[in-house]
């Protein structure tokens, strides 16, 4: 006949003996606790073979992670609404960009500008860059693998407010290089342009061919314009472009003496109806600098917005975006 275990005894006596005092209750509790610890599990008998420990199954390589539990209904709705709002915002931005492009007669919106680089390009003596000890580098092409090119506008003769408005609305960055004799009566136009994020750089006082001038005269042309721009715009330029792209060692030495850090030239020149190329392949390359001028109908028989339309269409069709030269150089 099987004997009851300690746990069964405790269960049977609990109702009838609960009132007989705390000592017996404590004793029975201790007996039961001992049985639990020892593996209270039915009748006593000879010890069987010791059970082998259970081994955890190793995770299979490449197994998919367990799915996350579903979100609470309120959070799920909120996540769906946030995603829907983001899509709606992107669609609205795309529609607005298309409408702006159509308003200005551009074939399609320009490609979105790349994020501003964390550091400017490290210049080395490669194709498109000329270096000399103690002289600012002369740069035709910014060293970069990004599909970005740079629009630069020289002189300052034409001051068309529609040009700067078009560039701002389309999100087209560019850099200006101005000569004092052409802009001294209306620096306000370029101050407004600078407030929109356009850097106003040095193109000398009188736009003379510097190669035929002595060192001191070159220095006056360059450094006096540095001072003038600092006074009129509020920022001393880092970049200088010699008129006609003509320079010699005296030019670079003079520019270095008054704080110029780089001398950007160009690989392409843009007009309202065509592009002129430096290289035979007649294609844009990453880092190319495009030259154009502040000109109007009296010279071009076209407007500055016509010029910008041509540049944006050509650059976008080639799969490039326009960047701000001063951010890279």
pLDDT tens per residue across span 89-111:
778 888 889 999 999 999 999 99
Closest CA to 202 of 210, 211, 212: 210
The DSSP letter of residue 170 is H
| CA atoms lying within 13 Å on the CB side of residue 218 | 23
Contact 303, 160 (CB under 8 A): yes
Q: What is the pTM of this model?
A: 0.73
> Sign (positive/negative) of CA torsion 298, 291, 200, 102?
positive
> What whole-number percentage of the chain has pLDDT above 90?
65
Alpha carbon distance 3, 40 (integer Å): 14
List, for residues 184-236, the tens digit of each pLDDT value: 999 999 999 999 999 999 999 999 999 999 999 999 999 999 999 999 999 99
Per-residue model confidence as pLDDT tens digits over 151-170 = 999 999 999 999 999 999 99
The two structure tokens encoding residue 305 = 């917005």
* Maximum Cα–Cα distance across the chain: 127
**Is pLDDT larger for residue 68 or for residue 112?**
112
| Strand 138-139 relative to strand 129-130, pairing | antiparallel
Statement: residue 44 has pLDDT above 90:
no
| For residues 113-129, average pLDDT | 81
Average pLDDT, the chain: 83
Helix H or strand E segment including 154: strand 148-155
pLDDT score at 60 = 52
Q: What's the rounded mean pLDDT across residues 9-30?
A: 41
Q: Is 307:314 a contact under the CB 8 Å cutoff?
A: no
């Amino acid at each position: 006949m099987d004997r009851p275990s300690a746990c069964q005894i405790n269960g049977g006596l609990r109702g009838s003996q609960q009132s007989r005092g705390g000592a017996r209750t404590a004793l029975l509790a201790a007996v039961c606790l001992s049985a639990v610890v020892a593996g209270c599990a039915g009748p006593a008998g000879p010890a069987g073979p010791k059970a082998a420990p259970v081994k955890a199954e190793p995770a299979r390589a490449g197994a998919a992670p367990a799915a996350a539990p579903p979100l609470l209904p309120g959070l799920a709705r909120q996540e769906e609404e946030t995603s829907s709002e983001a899509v709606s915002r992107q669609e609205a931005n795309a529609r607005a960009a298309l409408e702006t492009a159509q308003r200005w007669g551009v074939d399609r919106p320009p490609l979105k500008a790349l994020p501003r680089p964390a550091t400017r390009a490290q210049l080395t003596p490669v194709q498109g860059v000329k270096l000399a000890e103690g002289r600012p580098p002369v740069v035709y092409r910014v060293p970069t693998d990004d599909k970005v090119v740079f629009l630069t506008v020289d002189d300052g003769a034409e001051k068309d407010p529609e040009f700067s408005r078009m560039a701002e609305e389309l999100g087209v960055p560019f850099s200006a290089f101005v000569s004092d004799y052409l802009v001294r009566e209306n620096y306000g136009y370029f101050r407004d342009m600078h407030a929109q994020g356009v850097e106003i750089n040095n193109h000398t006082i009188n736009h003379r061919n510097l190669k035929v001038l002595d060192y001191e005269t070159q220095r006056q042309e360059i450094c006096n314009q540095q001072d003038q721009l600092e006074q009129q715009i509020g920022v001393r330029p880092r970049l200088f472009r010699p008129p006609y792209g003509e320079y010699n060692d005296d030019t670079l030495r003079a520019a270095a003496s008054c704080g110029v850090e780089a001398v950007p030239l160009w690989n392409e020149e843009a007009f309202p109806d065509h592009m002129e190329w430096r290289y035979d392949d007649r294609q844009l390359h990453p880092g190319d600098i495009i030259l154009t001028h502040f000109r109007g109908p009296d010279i071009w028989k076209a407007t500055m917005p016509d010029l910008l339309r041509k540049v944006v269409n050509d650059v976008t069709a080639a799969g490039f975006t326009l960047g701000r030269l001063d951010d890279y150089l």
